[in-house]
């Protein structure tokens, strides 16, 4: 075989090796801009996937830290922009290397969280700090440690958007950011006007469930209808809701961002035979402009 032919045959292999190396190096370099991976962490995989939670392609990096215990580091980056979307490092949360004492104040932890966000993205102007608290978390085995959880939620005209937030978790002893998540779409709402009252929404939600049950052939249909009629309205909230991609694809919810009354009903007085539902609840999502029940959750 001539030298030229040999080089021609080997060329696809060499290009493939370089291409694979380049693909891995790109996401790794991008991740290193945001987080510090321990030196003893071994890279297990770099994969490009379509992530339904973020509704985009992401580069997914898995690291494993073997000592003193097996821990995982998970990183998700926007495949187009390289922006960090998700980060979690259990090796910084619960190991023999981490103290369980609280050494960082709430204000100090908030500054750490804001500095981390500034390194990753611009904190949107339509965001509001809705959660900032110290949590006592059970770690490995009987070991307990403390974390600060912060959430900045998206708001539209002072009304919150469910599930759209930036979350940062700071270890209360080391001051390290141990987890981060950005779930933010900036999609404009499909409706903004509130024409349905809170009371009307609760009545419409219950009515919709009862209408669905009338087509049931189950011998328990009458008891379930009675249980729904007796169910207590335990929570109502006006919020913007963007339903999961899976619910939309399955035809269970509409696509888009909707201003809804979220009404939670809790089963209290139950007819005989339905004691298993005691303490469980169901939720309806009533479009605040038209009164249409656009989604409901089953009993939980």
CATH of the domain at 288: 3.10.450
Same domain, 178 and 68: yes
pLDDT at residue 142, as a whole number: 66
User: Is residue 124 a part of any domain in this protein?
Assistant: yes
3-state secondary structure of 211: helix
User: Is residue 43 a part of any domain in this protein?
Assistant: yes
pTM of the model: 0.82
Domain residue limits at 270: 198-297
pLDDT at residue 211, as a whole number: 87
Q: pLDDT by residue (tens digit) across 145-196?
A: 889 999 999 999 999 999 999 999 999 988 999 999 999 999 999 999 999 9
3-state helix, strand, coil in the chain (%, to 5): 25, 40, 35
For residue 82, CA distances in Å to 8, 30, 56, 86, 121 come to 34, 6, 12, 12, 11
Same domain, 177 and 43: yes
Same domain, 168 and 48: yes
Which of the listed residues 157, 183, 209 is the one where a domain comes to its end?
A: 183
Same domain, 128 and 263: no
3-state secondary structure of 17: helix
Same domain, 61 and 152: yes
pLDDT at residue 18, as a whole number: 37
Same domain, 45 and 179: yes
pLDDT at residue 20, as a whole number: 44
What's 99's DSSP letter? -
User: Is residue 30 a part of any domain in this protein?
Assistant: no
What's 184's DSSP letter? -
Question: What are the 10-residue block averages of pLDDT along the chain, 300 residues in total?
Answer: 44 40 72 90 95 95 81 94 94 68 94 97 94 82 82 97 96 93 95 97 93 78 83 94 92 96 90 77 95 85
User: Is residue 164 a part of any domain in this protein?
Assistant: yes
Q: How many domains does the chain have?
A: 2
pLDDT at residue 5, as a whole number: 42
Same domain, 164 and 241: no
């Amino acid at each position: 075989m001539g030298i030229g032919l040999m080089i021609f045959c080997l060329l696809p292999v060499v290009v493939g090796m370089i291409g694979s190396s380049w693909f891995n190096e790109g996401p790794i370099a991008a991740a290193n801009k945001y987080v510090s991976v321990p030196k003893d962490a071994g890279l297990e995989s770099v994969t490009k996937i379509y992530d339904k939670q973020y509704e985009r392609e992401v580069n997914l990096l898995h690291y494993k830290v073997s000592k003193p215990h097996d821990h995982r580091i998970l990183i998700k980056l926007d495949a187009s922009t390289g922006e960090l979307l998700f980060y979690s490092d259990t090796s910084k949360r619960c190991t023999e290397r981490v103290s369980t004492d609280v050494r960082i104040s709430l204000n100090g932890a908030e500054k750490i969280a804001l500095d981390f966000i500034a390194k990753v993205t611009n904190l949107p102007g339509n965001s509001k700090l809705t959660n900032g608290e110290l949590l006592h978390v059970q770690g490995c085995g009987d070991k307990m440690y403390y974390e600060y959880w912060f959430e900045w939620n998206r708001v539209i005209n002072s009304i919150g958007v469910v599930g759209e937030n930036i979350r940062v978790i700071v270890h209360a002893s080391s001051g390290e950011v141990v987890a981060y998540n950005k779930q933010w779409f900036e999609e404009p709402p499909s409706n903004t006007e509130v024409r349905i009252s809170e009371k009307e929404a609760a009545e419409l939600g219950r009515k919709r469930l009862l209408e669905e049950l009338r087509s049931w052939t189950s011998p328990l249909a009458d008891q379930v209808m009675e249980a729904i009629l007796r169910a207590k309205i335990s929570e109502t909230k006006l919020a913007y809701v963007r339903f999961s991609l899976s619910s939309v694809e399955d035809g269970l919810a509409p696509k888009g961002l909707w201003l809804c009354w979220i009404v939670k009903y809790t089963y209290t007085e139950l007819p005989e035979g339905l004691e298993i539902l005691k303490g469980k609840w169901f939720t309806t999502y009533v479009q605040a402009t038209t009164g249409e029940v656009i989604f409901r959750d089953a009993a939980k």
